[in-house]
Amino acid sequence: MAGILLRSPVYKTATAGAGTFSTKCTITLDGTLRYTLVKSTSAGATILWEISELCRDYIETNPTLRPVGTFLPVVTVVTSHVATDGSGAAVATTTFTDVGYDGYGTFLEGSNPSVSADGTAPPGWLVSGKSPNEGTNNYFYSYVPTGAIGWVPYIDSSSELFYQQYTTSNDESTPIALAGSFDMNFIRIDCTKYGTGNRILFTNKFGALQEIWFFLKEVNATSRKQETFQRNIISSTGTYSTIEHTKKVYNTTATNTLTLSSGYYPEWANDWFEQLMLSESVWLINSAIGVNPTSANYIPLNVNKSSMTRKTSLNNRLIEYEFDFDMSYDYINNIR
C-alpha cells in the first residue's frame, strides 16, 4: 500500500480497454463505497482521475486517539465498459490500494506526493529530520523540556500511522530505536526559569501529529467586540432614571489570543515552524499529557501568522520564533 497526501492532488490513471465507450471510477473509503464516477472514453485512451478532494472529506484528525494514528484506507477501482454509462460487465479493471493522510507535498516534490519518513522508506519517523543527514544516529531529533513525556509519530511498513511514547529517561544518550529505521534523539531543555514550557500539537506536512515546544515567554490577551444602540429611557411623565443606560450594549463577544516564544532551536528546525504555520489543525496541550492522551486538555488554536522568514545562524545568529495564536472559539460560550 502507498501512503498518499490528501491536501495535494492525487491522480489515478488507467487505459480504457478494447471496444469500450466509458470508464467508471469507484472510491471506497474505510470499507464503505462513497463515490461512483463515470466518464465517456474510447478504446485505448488514458483516463485521469483526481481523488484527493473527495477523500479528504472523510478524514478528521483526532489527537485523543494517540498512540493510534488518523489515516484513511482508500481503494480506487477503475473499470472500462462497452456501455456509455459505465454499466455492464467490466472489460478492464485497475485497482489502487492506498492509505490517505491529511498532509501535503510541495511543488518541487512533483505530482502525486506520497508519505515517506522524510525521504526514507517506511518504517520511519514522520517528522522533518536534520539537514544535512548525518546518518542513522544523528538525523531525527526532538527538543523537549526536562522531565517531559510525550509522543512521536512514525509510519510502519504497511504505511499506517502510529505514535511512540518517549519517557523522562529518553535523551540524546538514550534515544528511541525504531526497527528498520533511524533513532529518535531527544535534546532536553531546562525552561524552569520561564515556567514549564508550552506544548503545541499540529498536523505536519506528512499528515501526522507533531509536538513542538515553546520554551520562553507566554502572553495571553483578551479582546472584545460589541454593539450599542441609543435607548429611549424617558417615561410617560417626562422623567427618567439616572441609573439606566441610554447607550445599551448588546452582542458582546470576546476572543483570546496567545503569543509564544520558541526559545533557541537549530537552523535546520525551520521546517518545523514552517509546517506549523501551514497547518490547518493545531492544539495547545494544556496539561501533562500522561500515559493516556485522552486525559490531556486539548485547546484548539488557529495560527495567526501569514508569513515567516527562515532564520539562519549567519543572519540571525540565534534561531528563535514568536508565534501568535487565536483560540479557535469565542471566550463567551455561544454554542447553540
Q: Which pLDDT does position 224 carry in this prediction?
A: 93
Do both 90 and 137 map to the same domain? no
Handedness of CA 18, 20, 21, 26 (dihedral sign): negative
Q: Do 187 and 50 sit in the same domain of this protein?
A: no
206/86 same-domain check: no
Q: Are residues 169 and 34 in the same domain?
A: no
pLDDT of residue 88: 84
Instruction: Using the predicted structure, report yes or no on whether residue 152 has a pLDDT greater than 60.
Output: yes
| CA atoms of 53 and 10, how far apart (whole Å) | 9
Give the residue, 296 or 279, on which the prediction is more confident: 279
Say which DSSP state 168 is in. T
| Residue 335 domain flag | no
Q: Is the pLDDT of residue 119 over 60?
A: no
pLDDT reading at 246 higher than 90: yes
In this structure, the answer to whether residues 53 and 143 fall within a common structural domain is no
**What is the pLDDT at residue 58?**
94
pLDDT at position 312 is: 85
Distance CA 16, CA 136 (A): 45
Give the strands of the sheet with 124-125, arranged side by side: 124-125, 150-155, 161-166
Residues 129 and 169 in one domain: yes
The answer to whether residues 71 and 181 belong to one domain is: no
Q: Give Cβ neighbours of residue 238 (< 8 Å, ≥ 6 apart).
A: none
Alpha carbons within 13 A on the beta-carbon side of 50: 8
Average pLDDT over residues 157-178: 90
For the stretch 196-212, pLDDT in tens is 889 999 999 999 999 99
Structurally, the chain folds into a number of domains equal to: 2
Which three three-digit cell numbers place residue 203? 498536523
Mean pLDDT along residues 132-148:
82
Among candidate residues 187, 179, 129, the one with its CA nearest the CA of residue 155: 179
What was the pLDDT predicted at 39? 92
pLDDT digits (tens, 9 = 90+) for 5-58: 999 999 999 998 888 999 999 999 999 999 999 999 988 899 999 999 999 999
Q: What is the pLDDT of residue 287?
A: 61
* 31 within a domain of the structure (yes/no): yes
> In sequence order, what DSSP letters do the residues of 56-91 get, joined into one string?
HTT----GGGTTB---EEEEEEEEEESSTTS-S-EE
Which of 135 and 46 is assigned the larger pLDDT? 46
Q: Give the pLDDT score at 159.
A: 84
Q: Is residue 315 domain-shared with residue 196, that is, in the same domain?
A: yes
Is the confidence at residue 89, as pLDDT, over 60? yes
Ramachandran area for residue 30 (φ above 0: left; ψ -120 to 50: alpha; else beta):
left
Mean pLDDT of 242-260: 93
Is the confidence at residue 288, as pLDDT, over 70?
no
Residue 68: the pLDDT is 82
In this prediction, residue 121 carries a pLDDT of: 61
Which of 85, 109, 133 finishes a domain?
109
Note the pLDDT of residue 177.
86
Helix (H/G/I), strand (E/B), else coil: 124: strand
Note whether 210 and 266 are same-domain residues: yes
Q: Supply the range of the domain harboring residue 134.
A: 124-220+254-327
> Distance from first CA to last CA of the chain, Å, rounded?
43
CB distance 259 to 243 below 8 Å: no
The predicted structure's pLDDT at residue 123: 80
Q: 110, 98, 115: which is closest to 51 by C-alpha?
A: 98
271 within some domain: yes
Residues 141 and 74 in one domain: no
Express each pLDDT in 291-317 by its tens digit: 455 555 889 999 998 898 888 888 888
Is 117 a residue whose pLDDT tops 90?
no
pLDDT at 70: 84
Q: What pLDDT shows up at residue 118? A: 58
Average pLDDT of the chain, as a whole number: 89
Candidate from 46-50, 107-111, 120-124, 330-334 with smallest mean pLDDT: 120-124
pTM: 0.88
* Alpha helices (runs of H) in the chain, residue ranges in sequence order: 52-56, 270-278, 313-316
Domain end residue (candidates: 86, 109, 132): 109
With a cut of 80, say whether residue 282 has pLDDT above it: yes
Mean pLDDT of all residues in 247-271: 92
Q: Are residues 53 and 161 in the same domain?
A: no
